[in-house]
Structure 1
Amino acid sequence: MSTQNRTIPSRSAVAQALDSFFQITARGSSIGREIRGGFVTFFAMAYILVVNPAILGNAVPDDGSITTQGIAAGTALVAGAVTILMGAVANYPLALAAGLGLNAVVAFTLVLGSGLSYGEAMGVIAWEGLLILLLVLTGFREAVFRA
């Protein structure tokens, strides 16, 4: 009867690198759990890929320059990019995507209500984002909430 030394298989280099970078086991999780959580989060948020173009599609020009397919592709691209940035830069497992409240403001208030063009409305939103960023970076936003 031969005895073989049984070794516990080591994790792959990729798994070790992911765990080292994101400190998965140190935070009480596992790579498998994080992958399952990612799938659940994706399916919970996938509705935005349908709803966002449906809302913003009400405010696009009739000349065909902006399509609902383009809005859906842009939504997916931006949500994917900022979610990856949240994980890679902030090292925090949050998924980010467009908010439906702001979409309704763009479509129904800025474009259809105020008569701004689609491009002008997106410019307003870009300026709003920069203003919020400035308030966060200066600490003023936090001071207002603590007051």
Structure 2
Amino acid sequence: MKKAQNVALFSALTAMLASCSMVGPGVNEYTMARQTVVKSTDPVYAPAGTARIMRDLGTTRTNITLTGMTPYAIYVAHYHKRGQADVPACESGGAAIMESKMVAQADKDGKVSLQGLAANALLDGATYLNVHHARDFGGTPSDSGVICSPVTLN
């Protein structure tokens, strides 16, 4: 009798765990590209990185990992809506979605990690993720962008 109960419990747990893996978050990873407007005379300055975007249960979690940034500089990242239609998303000049703002400071080696959470509904219409130099830790952008990636949020 006890063996039959254990088998039934094991079967039920297996079914539950299998269904959990199907409900897991949608994860997308994007390669960030240097903005064409960036004109640096510093040969060490070579921005590169990735953005990992996870959407689940009404929330978007964004993790941006960058290298080659200006040491100790402050950066702000946020999603943007599409601007001008006939150019690439990162060059379209779309409106920033300020509720998605993430701010962090690069370390001595120019590495920076930015993380943020935003409600999925706030990001409706977002077409690209842009990282700017910031004037301050409040996240006021000081340029049009350093590194960017088009995104598709579903």
Do both share a fold (TM > 0.5)?
no
Select the structure with the greater relative contact order (CA < 8 A; seq sep ≥ 6). 2
- Comparing both structures, which one devotes a greater share of its residues to strand? 2
TM-score by length of 1: 0.30
Structure 1 or 2, whichever has the larger Rg, is 1
Give the TM-score normalised by structure 2: 0.29
